[in-house]
Each structure stands twice: as structure tokens, then as C-alpha cells.
Chain A
């Protein structure tokens, strides 16, 4: 029997279904923050390593 188009029968366990979107948002914010910090170091606003 053919599967209906657009239906994905797979799913992750509930914990990962909830955690991953939250993780992606946080990691995006953190990466942008670190890049901003590095740019601040380049411009001399913040001390570098």
C-alpha cells in the first residue's frame, strides 16, 4: 500500500522532539553572541586573548 504523500511516519522520542528546537534557538543566539564578542575584540572594544 502506498504511503500518502507528505506523511512522514518516523518521529523522534518526545524528549528530543521538544529539546532540539530549543537547542537550535539557544545555539544560534550563543554563536551570534560569540561572533559579536570576537568582532568587539577586533575593534578593540574588548580585550583579546
Chain B
């Protein structure tokens, strides 16, 4: 379990941050709010992984736990999903949803900063205590916020990728973007499954799924921005 709780999350963090750098570099060249938000989202993913690796290596630290819960558990899916919202929706609606997300994120941050913690509770129910878990939060109403962010993020990111797959498939164009979005949808879903398996007491499920998720998201993005070389020009706006 030692390697699973240290090497896996640190590797996941490294991959996420490299991915974030590439996306943000692309943003600096092409602009596009979706690229900026995906880059920010992957930084959050990287922070979450780093905190998990820190816990596995050096043990409990309340600041590290708060950073993990805020960025890794609460915000990452919603901010990645918000990038997809900017890609697929009219800017006015995307801006409205962005304002709501920012306000909700500020509220979530305040609640997490002020939350009472008990690390012993991470071994409650089926959790082994070797992985980080929101069970350490005692204050009521904090953990209840997270599913709202995750519902929004899942619908936006996975739903948006699936919608893109459908549109490109229907038009029979840009196969590389279709394949890329298939990978993005799968990669985005894996951490959600990992969290579910973790709650069922399957050791290592969360960290393994997060690493696989980061890798597959990265591959999906690279596939989506790299034409297949079959002569088809990538003239569609977006990624």
C-alpha cells in the first residue's frame, strides 16, 4: 500500500501539471477561455494529487487536507466542466454560469477553511485511513456541497465531450476530435468511479483511478488537437 499512497498520487500530480502547462501554453497562443479553464482545472487536479502523495509520505497535515478537499474533491470537476461550457455554449450564458461557479467556489473555500477536522474519522466505515477522505470533516454541511460541484462538472465535462462525439460522428468529420472526446469522457469518469469504489472499501481504487484518469484525459486532449493526417483539415473552432 505504501507505493500506492505515494508514487501513484505524485505521478498523477506530475502528469496533471504537465498537461496544465501544455494547455495553458496553447491558451497563450490561441486564446479561448475554455483552454484557460481547462488549464486551471488541471492545476487543481495536480494540487489534489500532490496533497494525496504528501499525506501518504509525511502523514496528516490540516492545511494539506483542506487544500486536497478544496481543489481535489470539490472544485476540479466543476472547473474542468466550465471550460467545456465555454466551448459549447454562447458566451453570455457561459459567463453567467462562470459567475455562479466563482461565487460557489468562494463559499466552498470559506466553509472548508473554517471546517473542524478529525483525522481519526478517516478510518470510519469502510475507509482504511490510508487514502484521504472527506470523513475527516466534522462541521456539518461542508461535505454536502461537494456533490453539487461534481454533478455540474460531470454533466458539463463528460456530457459536453459526449455531445461533441455525437456531433462530429453525425457529420462524419474530424475523426481525431471524435476519438479525443471519447478519451476525454472516459478519463473524466474514472476518478468518479474511483471515489465510489473507495467508499466501498477497495484499497487504492481512488488513486489508481485518478492516475488513469489524468493519463487518459491527457491522451484525449492530444488526440483531439492532432489531426489524423488523412487530408482532412481541422477547420472547426474549439480545442
Contact = CB atoms under 8 A, between A and B. Distances in A.
Interface of A: 8, 10-13, 16, 20-21, 23-24, 27-28, 30-31, 34-35, 37-39, 41-42, 46-49
A34 B73 contact: no
Nearest to B143: A48
16 contacts: A11-B172, A16-B169, A16-B178, A24-B162, A24-B165, A31-B154, A35-B154, A38-B147, A38-B150, A38-B154, A41-B147, A42-B144, A46-B199, A47-B125, A48-B134, A49-B199
Contacts of B150: 38
Please report whether the interface of chain A is mostly helix, strand, loop or mixed according to DSSP. Answer: helix
B158 interface: yes
A34 B189 contact: yes
Contacts of B196: 37
Nearest to B198: A49
A12 B175 contact: yes
Contacts of A10: 171-173
B195 interface: yes
Contacts of A46: 199
